[in-house]
Amino acid sequence: MTDARDPKNLRQDAPLLDGWLDFRAADVTPFGTPGHKQRLDLVGAVVDGDVPLYGGVDTIRQRAGAMAEADRKLAKLWGADWGRISVGGSTHGNQTLVLAACRPGDEVIVTRTLHRSLLLGMVLVGVKPVWVSPEVDPTTGLPTRVPVERVERALAAHPAAKAVFLVEPTYVGTLSDIAAHAQVAHAHGIPLVVDQAWGAYFGFHPEIPQHALQAGADAMVTSAHKTLPAYTQSALVFARTERLDRDRLERAFEVTATTSPSGTIAASADAARALLEQEGERLLGNLVQIVDHARDRLRKIPGLVLLGDVVDRSVIVDRVKLAINVSGTGATGLAIEDHMVAAGMPIELADRDTVVPILSINDDLASIDRFVDGVTAAIERGRSTSRAVLPSISWTVNPQVVISPREAFFAPHATVPVEKAIGMVSAEVVAPYPPGIPVLAPGERITREAVEGLRQAMADGTQVRYAADRSLATFQVVSEG
């Protein structure tokens, strides 16, 4: 095993990290899971550092109560009444929050920029989504915010709705006015639930947006792994218990949680929490500076546009996110991605017109300069005539709901050729990836517009995922009777 280190001495304030380090330092011959027995001689380093929560970081009978203590510290830091570290990603968090806020048959107001995990949480519970669409920035074709008036109109048309679900920030770092949305939801006596998967560092620096709970939301989930120095799959789920029931939240969390949580994943989330608490503002201040530096350099590239520079001034933008539009350079985002991957710099999102890297407190001036150098070289290599922006169907889809996602999911289905499928009801999720936002959800009419939009995404080089037939020659539809 490699040496276990704690360079910032976080263990004093991080019970799961402390348990993990203790386990690593101890001379153990385990007779519990996992079957690799902490030995590397059969499959090698791929299992190095994998410590279970029960029987590793804590005892099987949870004598130290380390997880409960870590959750308590977590909730306190985010100002929540209830908080849990999850090892199942924001996917698990979204499922938890739908199970906690809704009952089968409830109508809920939901942004159409939702992630498939939230949609499938709605399948689990059997809620009926009432969709609200985001505004789209005309220069870049990217989503900006869900105007409060759209939610107000949806609530007026569906007064029995039981919750509002938003995704904030969007994949490209723009935000709605969460405080105003919270007021509207609360005026209707219902909770505002926010999928904040991309904003784990929100609320820890004055130049960076508040997190959703600070802005008045009743619950939020965030992926620690997406932007904090934490293991893949780690997520944080929070709620206030004025409009959501604590016992229901607890039960909901357990429904789709594994019974064998990785202590390593959980300990890394605990360590990231302790780090944010102790040094978050300083580390984020540094990130603000280096992203500003990157922005200054990128602005000098002819034809390149940064979403934050052109978006309507009233839209809230995450200061440490770069959403780069390259249509004016003639190069494509997908060719830039290929270049970056070949240069050892995989990036989070690229489509025809857009490139979005993830920048985190683990970046430094050198890594960020390397990113800008790579993008600059890729653009100069692909530079040609500038093209008009084509907003992705992911942001502009106009869904036609016929039956609930759950009814469609469980209905008998058939596989039919695309031309015959148009006009029929989809049995499956179909989404360009990235960003993984459904263009077709189970229960929605397959429109010509949706099919054309999906084909366009494919023609531009974006993968279409989750459909049984990713070539889109056939679709799975709900069969009659």
The distance of closest approach from Cβ of residue 160 to ligand PLP in the complex, given in angstroms and rounded to an integer, is 26
Buried b (16+ CB within 10 A) or exposed e, 15-29: bbbbbbbbbbeeeee
CB of 51 to ligand PLP, least distance (A): 21
Q: Which stretch binds ligand PLP (CB under 6 A): 19-27, 86-94, 321-329, 371-379?
A: 86-94
How many residues bind to ligand PLP according to rule CB under 6 A? 12
Phi and psi (nearest 5°) for 464? -105, 130
Nearer to ligand PLP, 185 or 230 (CB): 230
C-alpha 65/C-alpha 347 separation (Å) is: 39
The residue within the footprint of ligand PLP, chosen from 11, 84, 85, 90 (CB under 6 A), is: 90
Q: Is 129 exposed, middle or buried (0-12, 13-18, 19+ CB in 10 A)?
A: buried
Does position 96 interact with ligand PLP (CB under 6 A)? The reply is no
In the block, tokens 């007064």 appear at: 159
> Is the distance from CB of 57 to CB of 20 less than 8 angstroms?
yes
Residue 89 lies near ligand PLP (rule: CB under 6 A): yes
CB of 170 to ligand PLP, least distance (A): 8
Stretch in the footprint of ligand PLP (CB under 6 A) among 12-20, 85-93, 140-148, 282-290: 85-93
Stretch that binds ligand PLP, among 10-18, 21-29, 84-92, 412-420 (CB under 6 A): 84-92
Instruction: Map the footprint of ligand PLP across residues 349-368, applying CB under 6 A.
Output: none
Distance CA(147)–CA(328), nearest Å, equals 28
CA distance 154 to 128: 13
Closest CA to 101 of 251, 202, 257: 251
Q: For residue 238, which phi and psi values (nearest 5 degrees)? A: -135, 155
Cβ at position 226, least distance to ligand PLP in Å: 6
Do the beta carbons of residue 99 and residue 124 sit within 8 Å? Answer: yes
User: Toward ligand PLP, which CB reaches closer, 117 or 392?
Assistant: 117
Interface with ligand PLP, residue 223, by CB under 6 A: yes
- State yes or no: residue 197 binds ligand PLP (CB under 6 A): yes
Find the shortest distance in angstroms from Cβ 5 to ligand PLP: 26
Q: H-type helices in 102-200, by residue range? A: 116-125, 148-157, 178-187
Q: Is 195 in the site for ligand PLP (CB under 6 A)?
A: yes
CA 468 to chain centre: 23
Q: How far apart are CA 295 and CA 298, in angstroms?
A: 5
Q: Name the phi and psi angles at 476, rounded to 5.
A: -95, 125
Nearer to ligand PLP, 100 or 167 (CB): 167
Q: Whose CA is closest to 433, among 389, 408, 470, 401?
A: 470
* 86 lies in the binding site for ligand PLP (CB under 6 A): no
Ramachandran region of residue 141, left (φ > 0), alpha (ψ -120 to 50) or beta?
left
Q: Which stretch binds ligand PLP (CB under 6 A): 9-17, 88-96, 373-381, 396-404?
A: 88-96
Residues in Cβ contact with 383 at an 8 Å cutoff, skipping those fewer than 6 apart:
303, 329, 330, 331
Stretch that binds ligand PLP, among 7-15, 44-52, 87-95, 282-290 (CB under 6 A): 87-95
* Closest residue by beta carbon to ligand PLP: 89
Taking CB under 6 A as the binding criterion, the range among 12-20, 83-91, 261-269, 377-385 that sits at the site for ligand PLP is 83-91
Please say which residue, 139 or 360, places its beta carbon nearer to ligand PLP. 360
Is residue 272 a contact point for ligand PLP (CB under 6 A)?
A: no
- Verify binding: residue 235, ligand PLP, rule CB under 6 A: yes
Residues numbered 127 to 146 that lie near ligand PLP (CB under 6 A) are none
- Quick one: which of 95, 96, 111, 117 contacts ligand PLP (CB under 6 A)? 117
Are 2 and 25 in contact, with CB atoms under 8 Å apart?
no
Structure token pair of residue 396: 């502009």
The sign of the torsion formed by the CA atoms of 461, 467, 470, 471 equals: negative
CB of 119 to ligand PLP, least distance (A): 10
For ligand PLP, the closer CB: 142 or 298: 142
Two tokens at 12?
A: 């004093």
Three-class SS state of 79: coil
The region of 62-70, 89-97, 100-108, 447-455 touching ligand PLP under the rule CB under 6 A is 89-97
Q: How far is CA 212 from CA 128, 167, 277, 417, in A?
A: 24, 10, 17, 43
To the nearest whole angstrom, how small is the minimum distance from the Cβ of residue 56 to ligand PLP?
23
- Judged by CB under 6 A, the chain residues 401 through 440 that form the site for ligand PLP are 436
Q: Does 266 bind ligand PLP (CB under 6 A)?
A: no
Q: Are 235 and 93 in contact (CB under 8 A)?
A: yes
Which residues form the interface with ligand PLP (CB under 6 A)?
89-91, 94, 115, 117, 167, 195, 197, 223, 235, 436
